[in-house]
Every structure is written in C-alpha cells, then in structure tokens.
Amino acid sequence: MDARELADALPDGVVVADAAGAVVLVSALAGRMLGVDPGASLGRPLGDVLTLSNTEGQTWAEANRPYDTLRTVTGTPEQAWLLPDGTEVLVVSTIRRPSLNVPVDQVAISLRSGRGRKRLDRERSDLVATVAHELRSPLTGVKGFVQALLNRWDKLNDDQKKLMLKTVASDSDRLSRLIAELLDVARIDTGRLQLYPRASDATVLVTRVVESVRSATSRPIELHVEGGIDGGIEGGIDGGIDGAAEDELEIHADPDKFTQVVTNLVENAVRHGDGVVTVSLSASPDDPAQVLLVVEDHGEGIPAELRQRVFTKFWKHGARGGSGLGLYIVGGLTHAHGGTVRIADADSGGARIEVTWPREQPAT
C-alpha cells in the first residue's frame, strides 16, 4: 500500500507539502472537501490547494505561515476553518524539520468535518439551557416567598408564615435533589460512581419509598410483595407486607442507590400516569438469583420505537414536568450493580418498567 492509498484509508482528509511548499499528496477525502482534483493538485503551491479561510478573510497558509515559524514549532493546534462552500472543518497540522538548524522539509495538514463538534456544542448548550430552566423554577419560588416574608412579616399571621416556609423548604429540597441528580449523571458518565453495596432488605427499602411518595400525592399506589398486596398503610414497614418473608427478598445493593432507583421509577409513574400506580416486588421467575421490581402506571405508555431513548439524558415524553434525568440515573445505577432495566406495556395500556437486581454480589 503506497502513501496515497494509506491517506485515502484515513477518516480525515490529508494534504502534504514538501520543503518548497509544493503539494505532494492530497487524499481523496481532502480533495472532495477542498473541491480539487487530488492528482491535478500535485506540484501546486500549498496555498492554492488548501483553500481554507477564516472569518477575517485570511487563508490557512497566510495565518499560520508554516515555513516561517519559530524553529521550535512542530505544528498547529486544532483550529476551525471554512471550506470554499462555507462548511466548517477542523484543521490540525504537523511541521517537520530534520533538526532545529535546517528549514522545514514537510508540512502535513489534517482536515476533519466540524459537524461533530457542532453537535457537541449544541448538546452542551441544550444541557445548560435545561439545567438553568430546572434550577430557575424552584429558585424563583424560594426567592419570592423569602422576599414576601421579609417585606410583610408583621402583616402575615402564623399560618401564612408557616405555609410560605413549608413552600420554601419544599423548593429547597427540589433544588438539592436536582443538584444531586446532576452530580450522579456526571459520575455515571465519567465512571466515577461510588457504590457501597451490602446485603439489603428490598422489601423494607421499597416499602419506605412507596409510603414516602404516597404521603406527597393523592394518586393511589398499590404495593405487591411476593404475592401479597399492601393497599394502604396497614402492614407497615417493620412487619413486612401481608406475611411476605423479608429475608426472601434480600439483595446486594448500595441501599441509598437502590432507594434512588425505586423513588425515580415510582415518582415517574405518578407524574406521567393516570389512576393507580402498581409497584410489585418478587423473586424473578426467570432467574432465582435476581429480584424483580415492576412499576406500572395507567398512562399512555411508551411507544416501542422510543424505548431505546428513554434512558438517555434529558429525555422527556409527554407534557408533564421532570428534569429528564430520572430514568437515565435508573439505568446507570442499575447497570452499575449488575442489574437490568426493561420497558414493556402494562395490561392497563400504560408503561411497565421491569428492573432485575442481583440478590448476591455478582462474580467479578
């Protein structure tokens, strides 16, 4: 394989010039980008072939002057330049000298499409906009009620003050939770998620979550454990649910992270569903080494073609609120423990989310 064939096999466009500034190689991709014939370009001056310009009208060769730089310069960092048709490309180069005491004998330029960077910039902008929106809403509530308390303290009665302070506390909790979610997302993305797994009672953890969410919503939530059903407060936490043996549903988990998974699933079902939310916990019928958690709602469900996107960051479906991080965190935390998450259709027509969780520490 000669140099031209090697250059054509690369994912980036390549242009190489010799000591005199004459082009000695143009890859096929670089030719398409620059609108030149690779064969006819050989021997032409680098500035005539590398038809790139910046927003100030300079060409790449004029701005970087690769043959007239300091002797210690070995290349140019990645820069954004415009092709003749206005498309942005990312350009990086290497400048070769046999030694510091002799002139440049070769300049190699690599061209890469700027669409990937634009997409990344757009995703970052979307992230900033989403985070700013989610933080602004509770922060506005906190600021508004605190200002009202400061301005009208003597005119408000105790019940009004208490209501305002409760609202401030609620919005503060929402802010804290959103910040915690963002930190979890960053740790999941970078592989720095810290887990402290141990033997944990899934029945107790799930029951606590259900009772907590029940206290904050009027939506009915049913909890089924190992064939039993908890239709309300009776059964409690300490005594198990309708006679189910707690030790039968022991899992290997970081209890805080497992609680976070269950909370996100139940709150998501309450937010997006209608009618009764059903939470079921049992040994997995397909694998006795796993515990199966199922959360079902009576909403509109999630179409099959969208289910792969549900566990991506900031994915939202429907008109109801939420940060779009809950299910991404569910997927990240579950997979970090060696579990699985699957979306199906509930018998009611709503969404059914199934989570399997290992009962013992997975083999490493």
Where along the chain do its domains lie?
3-113, 118-190, 198-358
pLDDT band of 242, cuts 50, 70, 90? very low
User: Which of residues 189 and 122 earns the better pLDDT score?
Assistant: 189
Amino acid at 159: D
Length of the chain: 364
pLDDT band of 138, cuts 50, 70, 90? confident
What pLDDT score does 291 carry? 94
What pLDDT score does 236 carry? 38
pLDDT at 127 over 90: no
Nearest in space to 172 (alpha carbons), one of 137, 132, 214: 137
What pLDDT score does 84 carry? 87
Mean pLDDT of 221-240: 56
What pLDDT score does 1 carry? 67
What pLDDT score does 317 carry? 60
pLDDT at 246 over 50: no
Mean pLDDT of 263-282: 88
What pLDDT score does 52 carry? 93
Tokens of 157: 């009665």
Is residue 281 a contact partner of residue 292, using CB atoms and an 8 Å limit? yes
Nearest in space to 337 (alpha carbons), one of 191, 195, 192: 195
pLDDT at 231 over 60: no
- The DSSP string of 292-325 is EEEEE-SS----GGGTTTTTSTT---SSS---S-
Is residue 318 a contact partner of residue 309, using CB atoms and an 8 Å limit? no
Which of 196-200, 235-239, 298-302 is predicted least confidently?
235-239
Helix (H) or strand (E) holding 267: helix 255-272
User: Which of residues 114 and 27 earns the better pLDDT score?
Assistant: 27
Which of 238-242, 258-262, 311-315, 346-350 is predicted least confidently?
238-242
pLDDT band of 248, cuts 50, 70, 90? low
Distance separating alpha carbons of residues 209 and 206, to the nearest angstrom? 5
Is residue 47 a contact partner of residue 59, using CB atoms and an 8 Å limit? yes
First to last CA, the chain: 44
Is residue 38 a contact partner of residue 56, using CB atoms and an 8 Å limit? no
pLDDT in tens, 52-102: 998 888 899 999 999 998 888 999 998 889 998 888 899 999 999 998 889
Q: Is the pTM of this model over 0.75?
A: no
Q: What percent of the chain has pLDDT over 70?
A: 88
User: Which of residues 143 and 182 earns the better pLDDT score?
Assistant: 143
Is residue 223 a contact partner of residue 230, using CB atoms and an 8 Å limit? yes
Contacts of 173 (CB under 8 A, 6+ apart): none
Mean pLDDT of 245-271: 85
What is 118-190's CATH topology? Helix Hairpins (1.10.287)
In this chain, the answer to whether the domains covering 118-190 and 198-358 adopt an identical fold is no
User: Which of residues 276 and 115 earns the better pLDDT score?
Assistant: 276
User: Which of residues 1 and 353 earns the better pLDDT score?
Assistant: 353
Task: Measure the CA angle with vertex 87, ends 86 and 91; round to 5°.
Answer: 115
Nearest in space to 209 (alpha carbons), one of 149, 281, 155, 263: 263
What pLDDT score does 322 carry? 58
What pLDDT score does 229 carry? 46
CATH number of 198-358, picked from 3.30.565.10, 3.40.50.1950, 3.30.390.30, 3.40.50.2300? 3.30.565.10
pLDDT in tens, 311-329: 777 666 655 555 677 888 8
CATH number of 3-113, picked from 3.40.140.10, 3.30.450.20, 3.40.640.10, 3.40.50.150? 3.30.450.20
What pLDDT score does 228 carry? 46
Sheet containing 290-296: give its strands across. Answer: 228-230, 221-225, 277-283, 290-296, 351-358, 340-345
What pLDDT score does 133 carry? 74
Average pLDDT, the chain: 84
pLDDT at 239 over 50: no
Please tell me whether residue 75 adopts helix, strand or coil conformation: strand
Distance separating alpha carbons of residues 60 and 62, to the nearest angstrom? 6
Mean pLDDT of 111-122: 77
